[in-house]
Amino acid sequence: MVRAEDDESKETTVSAMRDDTDKLFSGSIPQLYEQHLVPLIFQPYAADMAGRVAQCQPSAVLEIAAGTGVVTRELAKRLAPDVQITATDLNEPMLAEAAAAGTARTVEWRQADAMQLPFGDGMFDIVVCQFGAMFFPEKPAAFSEVRRVLRPGGTFLFNVWDRIEENEFADVVTQTLADIFPHDPPRFLARTPHGYHHLQNIVADLAAAGFKEQPTISTLAMRSRAESPRVPAVAYCQGTPLRSEIEARDASRLVEATDRAADAIAARFGSGGVDGKIQAHVLTLLR
């Protein structure tokens, strides 16, 4: 007979393993992420985020969860040369890819955990985070760190993906993998990138972190375009931690999973250039 506390212990262990795997961007993932996923889904929102930052006319900007630097590159192009830009990420391989891609001007790259930012109080007048909040293990704690490093009256600007059903390529890939692994479907995309979309929960986490102001929220739909169905299939199946989930079930089936995802995207969107909906929430609030 299995005791209830044993079940709880197993669930806690599984959850912790998923948390670690969901944040694992290593091996060939950073390169595939930059090559395929950035132009597919991140670039359109990066331009939007950088434009919002520029409107605030900041003097010191901190970017957290910068990934391979798609927003950083936009900030470096749009902000005046005397604006300090510091870009951080938990994963050194992602930062290495970002630094290798380069920026239009000098940026300080720094490995940092958003849960414990290595900066003094009130050092920045804007903190920006593109599609990183979903990965924070304790959202209020991370938001509290953001608030701490912001100057009084400073701005926190971040975005999160809407539910997976509003993001068509990701949804098709997830459904396809559920067909391939019906007894234990890989759920990384639904669980993490698209798992933090309930606005009331986000607002509550911000309040728990000490933010007094209500955020301004806009839901922004854009289009995700690629030259063939295989591009989004490779992007999601091999350029994100979803790859680790697939390989954990059967490493020999990674190519098959990618091929079948490409076939499913082609069946829905056509065999040539493909065009699917993506949607995210953008939140802006003052310290």
Rounded to two decimals, what is the model's pTM? 0.89
Q: Greater confidence, 19 or 249?
A: 249
Cα within 13 Å of Cα(203), Cβ side? 9
Mean pLDDT over 212-219 rounds to 96
Please write the tens of the pLDDT for every residue from 253-275.
Answer: 999 999 999 999 999 999 999 99
Helix pair angle (242-250, 4-22), 10° resolution: 120
**Does residue 23 register a pLDDT over 70?**
no
Residue-level length of the chain: 287
CB 185 within 8 A of CB 178: yes
Domains (ranges, CATH) in the chain?
21-286 (3.40.50.150)
Rounded CA separation 269/81 (Å): 43
Please write the tens of the pLDDT for every residue from 127-165.
Answer: 999 999 999 999 999 999 999 999 999 999 999 999 999
CB 178 within 8 A of CB 144: no
Please give the structure tokens belonging to residue 53. Answer: 């930052």
**Does residue 89 register a pLDDT over 80?**
yes
The pLDDT score that the predictor gives to residue 30 is 83
Mean pLDDT over 33-58 rounds to 96
**Does residue 123 register a pLDDT over 90?**
yes
The pLDDT score that the predictor gives to residue 11 is 39
The pLDDT score that the predictor gives to residue 29 is 79
Mean pLDDT over 171-177 rounds to 98
pLDDT band with cut points at 50, 70 and 90 for residue 36: very high
